[in-house]
Structure 1
Amino acid sequence: MAFLTNDKLVIVGAGGAIGSTMVQTALTMKLTPNVCLYDVYAPGMEGVMEEMFHCGYDSVNLTATTDVAEAFKDAKYIISSGGAPRKAGMTREDLLAGNCKIAEELGQNIKKYCPDVKHVVVIFNPADLTGLVTLLYSGLKPSQVTTLAALDSTRLRSELCKKFGVKSDEVTGCRTFGGHGEQMAVFGSKVKIQGKPLSEIIGTDALPQEEWEKLRNDVVQGGAKIIQLRGRSSWQSPAYCSVEMIRAVMGGEPFAWPAGTYVKNEKYQNIMMAMDTTLDTNGCSYKMPEGTAEEMALLDASYAHLCKMRDELVTLNIVPPVEKWNEINPNL
């Protein structure tokens, strides 16, 4: 099997659990032979490097460095998990200030060292805001920066599979939109279970309304459940989904789930949020989600919540007021 491309892929935070899993997933998928591991913590990164060599991958050109200039030089694709992890009792929003400062530096480094990068995937939380800050300071086009939002949709499918005892491919149309956080909008109106609309099942003995509400809440709290079960935030699922995202942009299989993308339209403006997206070699494009009146109201509420956090970043002097963004990034 040939590699998808020979372009350089940089994994930021490669010494951590998510980053190291991304490295292995990218090599297993044979995305590119040229994978660079970047982390400020050398021992962890060097340990990952050794592990990858011990796996016996053929024809790869692995490099590792703690020097951001060296790591980003000639980079064409970047996935960054380089933020502080979520811990027990924390929401994604609790990471706002610290991780958005890291995102500011990430964007500035992209602009300085690899302005010709093709695509960047940001996955450290709160991803909607860290992705937005990265995009602003990188100078890239909105289509070139996406964030990981898929886990909410995959968790919805997972909960429904467990509830009805069916295989994953028998549950279709699972989508959550808006923010990747406590205010996400869970859409059920397009879901089908073995071809039957979920809307015809909700409110019956098979899925009483209160059980559906609990299931939706379990989806929202899916990340917290992982912390409860494993003692730390999830790493395998974000690593896999983010590598699938970059694979789609590299020319691989289409990405099946929503991505977080920069939105500026008549209804929602100057925000990063999960939309009905398409990821391909042209980058990311989106359509507005379609749903019931209740679902669209939930999406409106999610947008309002994201705007509140964005405005907090202005107060913290991490980003300027929206009307000045174009001075930093003419693409916005």
Structure 2
Amino acid sequence: MVKAAVLGASGGIGQPLSLLLKTCPLVDDLALYDVVNTPGVAADLSHISSVAKISGFLPKDDGLKHALTGADIVVIPAGIPRKPGMTRDDLFKVNASIVRDLVKGIAEFCPKAFVCIISNPVNSTVPIAAEVLKAAGVFDPRRLFGVTTLDVVRAETFAQEFTGQKDPSKAQIPVVGGHSGETIVPLFSKATPAFQIPSDKYEALIKRVQFGGDEVVKAKDGAGSATLSMAFAGFRFAESVIKALKGQTGIVEPTFIYLPGVPGGDAIAKATGTDFFSVPVSLGSGGADKANNILEGVTEQEKKLIQTCTEGLKGNIEKGIEFIKNPPPK
């Protein structure tokens, strides 16, 4: 029996993500939670003829407690998109508070669950979650993941003209670092099967993977950001975690983790100078079994990208930790 919970299930990412989880035969029980509309979303999805039994909860009547109790995996797309007139700092404060409060619930009601964080900015919200779990005395670095799969999905898709794969996902392209702008580093030199990118196309391809979200924002004319592709990526990662939980071996997914708490992570932390970093992680029934160091033997171009990434990433991580240690006045 696998129980999955989606926190932020009524939103632009939450609804399609919940749909994909409802259709997944590996999920037996699916609990949805949000501040509005969740019973309606659950009722709608309940008509789908698939295995998972579904329930929807609101904050009233201990909704968060009911959604989380017994959960094996919790996926968090909760948060708000940036609205006109909002600064990135305004957005950070709102989403940081949302993630903090939801993770407090996880610490109380399902401390052993695998936690998959989608809420942006992931580079800061994952450290926030880690600090909350530490404060509650239940932090297991092997069970906390920042979902960076959309960067991998974009790399696979945007490089298809060079990989020659009819199914873009058949090219395995590791993406390391963080989950925003220049902190996203696709390591095309480490792709399998190997392929070549013409030198005059390389820079544009890197930039497209790093800033692919801007394409969606522009195409939606300011009315939204990437929701459907993010839901697909979130589901792809969650499904891998569930498969590993059920005993399937050989599953490797890039994900943003706390390196010192995962086998193999110390060497990567030393090489990057940061405790949180996205690398390919071998998943097992207990979560992150091993952080795979693929930073050795990268090209000179990739070394420069990693250096730029770590400079930005350190500030993002510190911002998240500082938010918990010295909360801003309300």
- Of 293, 314, 324, which aligns to 1:318? 324
1:39 Cα deviation from its structure 2 partner:
0.6
- Say whether residues 1:237 and 2:241 are aligned partners: no
Map of 1:49 onto structure 2: 42
Q: Residue type of the partner of 1:10?
A: A
Map of 1:303 onto structure 2: 310
TM-score (norm 1): 0.80
Q: Which runs of 5+ in 2 are unaligned?
A: 261-265
Map of 1:267 onto structure 2: 271
- Say whether residues 1:145 and 2:144 are aligned partners: yes
- Say whether residues 1:114 and 2:133 are aligned partners: no
Q: Residue type of the partner of 2:143?
A: Q
Distance 1:313 1:157, change over 3 A: closer
Map of 1:280 onto structure 2: 284
**Mapped contact 2:274–2:310 kept (Cα < 8 A):** no
Map of 1:250 onto structure 2: 242
Map of 1:176 onto structure 2: 175
**Mapped contact 2:273–2:310 kept (Cα < 8 A):** no
Identity of aligned residues (%): 23
- Say whether residues 1:123 and 2:129 are aligned partners: no
* CA distance, structure 2, for counterparts of residue 87 and residue 275 of structure 1: 32
Q: Residue type of the partner of 2:271?
A: K
Q: Residue type of the partner of 2:205?
A: L
Q: Which runs of 5+ in 1 are unaligned?
A: 1-5, 322-332
Distance 1:210 1:106, change over 3 A: same
Map of 1:36 onto structure 2: 31
- Of 60, 69, 74, which aligns to 2:52? 60
**Mapped contact 1:35–1:63 kept (Cα < 8 A):** yes
Q: Give the CA RMSD over aligned residues.
A: 2.8
- Say whether residues 1:157 and 2:164 are aligned partners: no
**Mapped contact 1:262–1:270 kept (Cα < 8 A):** no
**Mapped contact 1:15–1:46 kept (Cα < 8 A):** no
Distance 1:62 1:313, change over 3 A: closer
* CA distance, structure 1, for counterparts of residue 26 and residue 83 of structure 2: 31
* CA distance, structure 2, for counterparts of residue 211 and residue 88 of structure 1: 34
1:229 Cα deviation from its structure 2 partner:
1.8
* CA distance, structure 2, for counterparts of residue 241 and residue 94 of structure 1: 26
Distance 1:306 1:28, change over 3 A: same
Q: Residue type of the partner of 2:71?
A: A
Map of 1:197 onto structure 2: 195
- Say whether residues 1:13 and 2:8 are aligned partners: yes
Distance 1:262 1:89, change over 3 A: farther
Map of 1:225 onto structure 2: 215
What SS does the corresponding residue of 2:81 show, helix, strand or coil?
Answer: coil
1:155 Cα deviation from its structure 2 partner:
1.0
Deviations 1:175-196 (A, max 9, x none): 221011112222221236xx55
1:96 Cα deviation from its structure 2 partner:
2.7
**Mapped contact 2:252–2:280 kept (Cα < 8 A):** no
Distance 1:247 1:165, change over 3 A: closer
Q: Residue type of the partner of 2:106?
A: I
Q: Residue type of the partner of 1:60?
A: A
* CA distance, structure 1, for counterparts of residue 127 and residue 6 of structure 2: 19
* CA distance, structure 1, for counterparts of residue 301 and residue 49 of structure 2: 52
Deviations 1:206-241 (A, max 9, x none): x3x332211211111111111222341112222222
**Mapped contact 1:14–1:38 kept (Cα < 8 A):** yes
Counterparts of 1:78-89 in structure 2 under 5 Å? 78-86=74-82
What SS does the corresponding residue of 1:17 show, helix, strand or coil?
Answer: coil
**Mapped contact 2:124–2:318 kept (Cα < 8 A):** no
**Mapped contact 1:100–1:318 kept (Cα < 8 A):** no
**Mapped contact 1:80–1:121 kept (Cα < 8 A):** yes
Q: Residue type of the partner of 1:274?
A: S
